[in-house]
Structure 1
Amino acid sequence: MTQGDQQVRTRTRVVTSLAAAGVVALAGCGTDVDDITVGAGKGWPAVHHDGRNGGTSPVSGAESVSLSWSRPVGGPIAQPLTIGEEGQMFVTTSTGNCAIFSFQMLTGRKRFCNPLGPSTIEAPTVVDQVSNVYVGDDGAVNSFNYLGQPRWRTPVAGVPVAIQFTGDGKLLTVTQSGQVDVLSRQTGGREVPTLQLLGEPDFLRFPRLTRPASGDGLDDCRTGGPRCAVANTTAVDPATGRFFVTVWQPGNGAASLRAMRYAEGKVTQDWSADMLTGGSATSPALSADGDTVYVGDNSGRLIAVNTSDGSTRWTHDLGWTPVGGIAVADGLIIPAGDEGYLTALRDEDDRAEIIWERKDLALRGTPAQTAGGIGYTVAAIGPGLNLITFDTRNGNTVDSDPLPGATGTTTGTSIGPEGEIVVATRLGEIFTFTPA
């Protein structure tokens, strides 16, 4: 690639500064004009595809797929892979030298790997339409271009466990300790004053109060426990500026679902509802019309909430704890959870109706829906794992493909721009399938 081609691809001037310890110094880089477009587009730009956490791709799913390649990354994986407009893949991990990897879709060849803080493994990534990637680590939000060159680094309190695009193309980040920031994608600069979901510390009453370690409470995030204030990815409604976040306030008996609003140069709270028994189990997921937000808790319930006022429309006892994401498309709700099985429900306004159940398919990943009524998930088949292609209308298996040598569970199901399906095991191996 020529230098000119590279400049066209990046569309921005990159200025870097390396500190003696090898950490990127905080610096605003790039132009004053925000010329980088964002949006769902093709690929899988966020952990649950889009800002509403819909777990649904506009690409038509293939009824038959085959394994294209697989490779280990050298460390465990905790978050789903994201995929850019042109198929470039990004994943966080924990190895001696690399915390974020990027791979090429066609061959699995590594494009770059960069060192970051040890807690990067718990931080999701988001990708814009020119394959700039945004990711958190211990005490910061970072941005790299498609070649892995640093663009900027902005300090925050904690580790960003939720990162999304806003409707006006800014970067919304929330740390596990509850710090909310809206950042410029070009420079990393703060667009609005920082908000603390747990309230501002009172240094007059507690003059010896110290800042917790960046990774404090992260272990509880995996189960939505009380030491992790924010355990899941926020859901964003770009039309209204609202975003929905789960928060466990210290001392409360249950976690809450909160509706926040980013508008007029600030972030404010619309409502808060203490409803998540045992803590939040899933990320909130918005319906396509933005009227309903779905969320799961650790008592095994799936809950439908009115976005206007936080009132509960219905609750449904799954009989198992949903975990991770909820795939929502055309009124069809498919929850994830390694303790459960593949099932689909429909929102009937005042109740949830089970459309079909596959109790023979024990979930080992997050279901994803595509256009054309095709869905994908990973299930336990015998001692191993298989990628299951299913008909979302009735749950019937359309195709089943083994993940050779894979055991345990997977972090998510991501769909590429050409209908590729990518899953990663928590032990640290990536499997890529392509339409047959």
Structure 2
Amino acid sequence: MRAFVLSALGALVVTGCGTDVDDITVGAGLGWPAAYHDGRNGGATSVTGAKRMALSWSRPSGGPIARPVTIGSEGQLFLTTRTANGCAMLSFQMPTGRKRFCSQLGPSAVFSPSVVDGVSNVYVGDDGGVNSFNNLGQPRWRTPVAGVPVSVQFTGDGNLLTVTQSGQVDVLSRQTGHREVTTVQLLGEPDFLAHPDLARPVSGQGLDDCPTGGPQCSVANISAVDADSGRFFLTLWQPGEPVAALVALRYRDGKVVQEWRANVLSGGSGTSPAVSPDGATIYVGDNSGRLIAVDAADGRTRWVRSLGFAPRGGISVSSDGLVIPAGDDGYLLALHDKGDASEIAWERKDLALRGTPVQTAGDTGYTVAAIGAGLNLITFDTQSGDTIDSDVLPEAEGTTTGTSISADGEVVLATRLGEVFTFVPEK
């Protein structure tokens, strides 16, 4: 019933202002504009990765970090956190780590990813709202929603797609925040005639279950968008259902409709779906330790690979079909997608993952692994899995939220405890 209450209260009021001329480019482009690089959650970039890296700077954020750092086309860094003074949206300058701005948002903003457009306007959710700031941190607009947007992405036509943990789906104008389509409620609409005394729960209800994709968080992960077809894919745990589902929806012709639902995610999912470069396959993990490849057209399972650990976070998928899952309880390995089966390309059981692997041009990948009592940035050959370089994250503990790469090849990492590290190509 809690979900029904949330679904009824996605307010239609928009505050703030913007222009009616949409001259802001989006693009999959330079930098790391979304949590896993692009709308398809591909975790791979056309930037040629350097073989040798060196620490440039590190600094604390002042609070925990739950989502990957995003990077604008000119190198401006953005992240969400939770601090005692309410500073939740942080931006840093790439060369020095100097703080560009700090914006106050609700405490649940730490669970929301950010996305950045071509002129470094940033979009992020918090308790009951979607927000946009320009590159100086000045507010552009705020649109109320029910819940907290745990997924924020760009659509193929340049709008903003948001999904809250309670299953509210909205498509918003990037310029004004106005709703472009009618709000969709994945858990259904409330029946106020049958339940006239429904009360609104807190916006952050169930968020603690989101990192692992538990049953109290109906939508736990960042949606993957296929810009060409208008389809987007998300994980959904319907209350009372024994397993979670991978759901395909399509945004087209001024509306959002569901195309299929595949109930395949045993124990839920802490993995954001990823779309193959050709749009034909969706990769997703579940808490039973499986990586699953699904046909994007109809939800048919193509193959299942038992990993031996629960995948978490993003899945890196290269243009030539090399698939590298993440998972803080797992190790570094890569798979070849053979259509109706998978094949292990290589595996490194000696490298315990503490972050999300990503791939670059030039057969170079990056991830964070536990080395001794600390953490290291590992540069590896994506064709063989061999370690090319290893760089210490000084005094870092725990795990990292993701791996982000700038247009100039800098690698940016953030620990969940709240420390940001930036590495530059070694000259």
TM-score range, shorter chain: over 0.9
CA positional deviation for 1:281 = 2.3
Could you tell me which amino acid in structure 2 is paired with residue 357 of structure 1?
Answer: E
Of residues 106, 118, 136, the one that matches 2:95 is 106
Residue 168 of structure 1 pairs with residue 157 of structure 2: yes
Divergent runs of 4+, >2 A: 25-28
Other-structure match for 1:334: 324
> Which secondary structure does the structure 2 equivalent of 1:99 belong to?
strand
Given that 2:18 and 2:141 are in contact with CA atoms closer than 8 Å, whether structure 1 keeps it comes out as no
Residue 228 of structure 1 pairs with residue 254 of structure 2: no
CA positional deviation for 1:33 = 1.2
CA positional deviation for 1:183 = 0.1
Could you tell me which amino acid in structure 2 is paired with residue 152 of structure 1?
Answer: W
Post-superposition Cα deviations, 1:150-208, rounded to whole Å, max 9, x if no partner, equal 00000000000000000000000000000000000000000000000001111111111
Could you tell me which amino acid in structure 1 is paired with residue 65 of structure 2?
Answer: I
Tell me the distance in 1 between the aligned counterparts of 2:133 and 2:16.
13
Of residues 204, 207, 213, the one that matches 2:193 is 204
CA positional deviation for 1:50 = 0.2
Other-structure match for 2:390: 400
Residue 82 of structure 1 pairs with residue 70 of structure 2: yes
Tell me the distance in 2 between the aligned counterparts of 1:37 and 1:56.
20
Could you tell me which amino acid in structure 1 is paired with residue 394 of structure 2?
Answer: P
Taking the TM superposition and a 5 Å limit, the aligned residue runs for 1:337-416 are: 337-416=327-406
> Which secondary structure does the structure 1 equivalent of 2:288 belong to?
coil
> Which secondary structure does the structure 1 equivalent of 2:15 belong to?
coil
Residue 156 of structure 1 pairs with residue 174 of structure 2: no
Residue 434 of structure 1 pairs with residue 424 of structure 2: yes
Of residues 39, 56, 62, the one that matches 2:50 is 62
Residue 308 of structure 1 pairs with residue 297 of structure 2: yes
Of residues 152, 175, 179, the one that matches 2:168 is 179
Could you tell me which amino acid in structure 1 is paired with residue 180 of structure 2?
Answer: E
Other-structure match for 1:290: 279
Tell me the distance in 2 between the aligned counterparts of 1:27 and 1:121.
22
Could you tell me which amino acid in structure 1 is paired with residue 420 of structure 2?
Answer: I
Tell me the distance in 2 between the aligned counterparts of 1:372 and 1:111.
32
CA positional deviation for 1:296 = 0.1
CA positional deviation for 1:61 = 0.3
Given that 2:82 and 2:88 are in contact with CA atoms closer than 8 Å, whether structure 1 keeps it comes out as yes
Post-superposition Cα deviations, 1:19-61, rounded to whole Å, max 9, x if no partner, equal xxxxxx9425122111111012110000000000000011000
Tell me the distance in 1 between the aligned counterparts of 2:197 and 2:324.
48
Given that 2:46 and 2:360 are in contact with CA atoms closer than 8 Å, whether structure 1 keeps it comes out as yes
Tell me the distance in 1 between the aligned counterparts of 2:393 and 2:20.
46
Other-structure match for 2:18: 30
TM-score (norm 2): 0.96
> Which secondary structure does the structure 1 equivalent of 2:170 belong to?
strand
Other-structure match for 1:218: 207
Tell me the distance in 1 between the aligned counterparts of 2:408 and 2:117.
17
Task: For structure 1, list consecutive stretches of 5 or more residues without a partner in the other structure.
Answer: 1-24
Tell me the distance in 1 between the aligned counterparts of 2:195 and 2:304.
41
Tell me the distance in 2 between the aligned counterparts of 1:349 and 1:33.
44
Tell me the distance in 2 between the aligned counterparts of 1:279 and 1:26.
34
Tell me the distance in 2 between the aligned counterparts of 1:92 and 1:204.
39
> Which secondary structure does the structure 2 equivalent of 1:220 belong to?
helix
Other-structure match for 2:39: 51
CA positional deviation for 1:133 = 0.2
Other-structure match for 1:92: 80
Of residues 250, 254, 257, the one that matches 2:239 is 250
Post-superposition Cα deviations, 1:323-375, rounded to whole Å, max 9, x if no partner, equal 00100002000000000000000101111100100000000000010011100
Other-structure match for 2:125: 136
Could you tell me which amino acid in structure 2 is paired with residue 292 of structure 1?
Answer: T
Other-structure match for 1:275: 264
> Which secondary structure does the structure 2 equivalent of 1:260 belong to?
strand
> Which secondary structure does the structure 2 equivalent of 1:344 belong to?
strand
Given that 1:28 and 1:189 are in contact with CA atoms closer than 8 Å, whether structure 2 keeps it comes out as no
Tell me the distance in 1 between the aligned counterparts of 2:25 and 2:62.
33
Other-structure match for 2:116: 127
Other-structure match for 1:423: 413
Other-structure match for 2:60: 72
Other-structure match for 1:18: none
Given that 1:80 and 1:91 are in contact with CA atoms closer than 8 Å, whether structure 2 keeps it comes out as yes
Question: Which shifted more, 388-397 or 344-353?
Answer: 344-353
> Which secondary structure does the structure 2 equivalent of 1:222 belong to?
helix
Corresponding pairs, count = 412
Other-structure match for 2:10: none
Given that 1:297 and 1:321 are in contact with CA atoms closer than 8 Å, whether structure 2 keeps it comes out as yes
Task: For structure 2, list consecutive stretches of 5 or more residues without a partner in the other structure.
Answer: 1-12
Given that 2:14 and 2:178 are in contact with CA atoms closer than 8 Å, whether structure 1 keeps it comes out as no
Residue 237 of structure 1 pairs with residue 219 of structure 2: no
Other-structure match for 1:17: none
Could you tell me which amino acid in structure 1 is paired with residue 173 of structure 2?
Answer: S
Could you tell me which amino acid in structure 1 is paired with residue 190 of structure 2?
Answer: P
> Which secondary structure does the structure 1 equivalent of 2:190 belong to?
coil
Tell me the distance in 2 between the aligned counterparts of 1:245 and 1:384.
34
> RMSD of the TM alignment (CA)?
0.8
Of residues 246, 252, 257, the one that matches 1:263 is 252
Tell me the distance in 1 between the aligned counterparts of 2:289 and 2:147.
29
Given that 2:187 and 2:238 are in contact with CA atoms closer than 8 Å, whether structure 1 keeps it comes out as yes
> Which secondary structure does the structure 2 equivalent of 1:119 belong to?
helix
